[in-house]
Amino acid sequence: MFGRNILSSVAVEIGASRTRVFQKNMGEIFSAPTLIAFRRGRTRTDSNIVCIGEDAHPLIGRAPTSVEVVRPVASGAIVDTEATVLYINRIMSQAIPGFWVAKPRIICAVPSASTLVTRTAFSEVFRNLGCTDVKMVPQHLAVLAGCGVDFTKRGGTLIVNMGAGSTDVAITSFGATVANTSIKIGGDEMNRCIKQFFRRSRKIDIGDATVEHVKKEIGCAIYSDNYGTIKTTIRAKCLETRRSVAVDISKNDIAQAIKPVLERISDRIFDAFECVSPEIASDVLSGCAFLSGGVARMESIQDYFRSSTAVQFQNLGSQQSLISSGLLNILGQPRSFSSYFG
């Protein structure tokens, strides 16, 4: 029974951007970027790991040729199993003293519409480390569990959870998932679009770390005449002269660059509506709709989706990660959320 010996249970959120580990009565016990750096040209073993997490982050775009920086998770899926196993082994050893002896039960949040192959890949990462009891929880259900509301007694509810690598769109009714779709775009795809936008329009190349900084500092979802003067200055490489140049970037530049990403997410929201009854759609349109995830913190993103879909979203993105809160609630009351396990 999953509820037994819950003190030995651990919840894990492995995102394309960050990985978090939680334990009952202790809350979040580990949080770091999902990054691992190896010595290039050698067999990938624990002894050949240069660094992980926060220590690996400064190496992005700056690593010497002898070091390979790997993002083992992208677009809501494991893209490098070997690196993921080594990364999880290292963080678990840091977060949980005696992990190799305890072999705790694992609750892992996965993209809502992930395939059986993806869920199996996440499960196998922990099984390769000796954990025999591994449960998968769809991210949209983890969000619901983190809202502090009993959604088993509510009608149609729309959840749009926007992470770094993927966006989950799901509709539930009285606790059951009635529509569920996922698209492999999110904050990382926005970064890619921003880089392409400036390569085409300004003939400049912006580093990955700089793009992420600009998106967080002046990122905006809606173009406005009032935003044209709100700018930040960055250093970039001119593609014509190959020299470093100072460039002013405005909120409107970002809004134009990320518009294709937001349009694709809007399309997925409409796809979800097509899968439900008029009554459930009516419940959602009456205000039972939520935005969550790191991308939801972007300025005016709630207004964008209200305009593009006519759905009156409540934005939960500025709160503590709802997936994190949900996983902690599930750890505390596993039997109450047993129907969430996949």
- pLDDT at 256 (0 to 100): 96
Is the torsion defined by CA of 138, 144, 145, 150 positive or negative? Answer: negative
Average pLDDT score, the chain: 87
| Structure tokens that stand for 28 in this block | 């979040």
Q: Is the pLDDT of residue 301 over 70?
A: yes
Q: What is the pLDDT of residues 175-189, one digit of tens each?
A: 788 999 888 899 999
> Which CATH architecture is the domain 6-142+322-340 placed in?
2-Layer Sandwich (3.30)
Q: Answer whether 225's CB lies under 8 Å from 217's CB.
A: no
Of 206, 204, 229, 231, residue with least CA distance to 217: 231
- Identify which has the larger pLDDT, 235 or 335: 235
Q: What is the pLDDT of residues 98-107, one digit of tens each?
A: 776 677 888 8
Q: Cβ contacts of residue 71 below 8 Å, gap of 6+?
A: 16, 34, 35, 79, 80
- pLDDT at 339 (0 to 100): 65
Of 338, 294, 334, 331, residue with least CA distance to 315: 294
Q: Answer whether 72's CB lies under 8 Å from 34's CB.
A: yes
Residue spans per domain, the chain: 6-142+322-340, 150-315
| Structure tokens that stand for 56 in this block | 């690996």
Q: Is the pLDDT of residue 306 over 90?
A: yes
Q: What is the pLDDT of residues 55-76, one digit of tens each?
A: 999 998 889 999 999 999 988 8
Q: What is the pLDDT of residues 110-166, one digit of tens each?
A: 887 778 888 888 898 888 888 888 888 888 888 888 887 677 777 889 999 898 888
- pLDDT at 104 (0 to 100): 80
Q: What are phi and psi of 291, to 5 degrees?
A: -105, 135
Q: What is the pLDDT of residues 242-300, one digit of tens each?
A: 999 999 999 999 999 999 999 999 999 999 999 999 999 999 988 788 898 889 999 99
- Identify the CATH homologous superfamily for domain 150-315: ATPase, nucleotide binding domain (3.30.420.40)
- pLDDT at 1 (0 to 100): 35
Measure Cα distances from 168 to 158, 197, 290, 328, 338 in Å.
10, 25, 12, 20, 21
- pLDDT at 4 (0 to 100): 42
Query: What stretch of H or E contains 213?
Result: helix 208-218
Q: Is the pLDDT of residue 226 over 90?
A: no
DSSP count for the chain of H helices, then E strands = 10, 18
- Identify which has the larger pLDDT, 316 or 258: 258
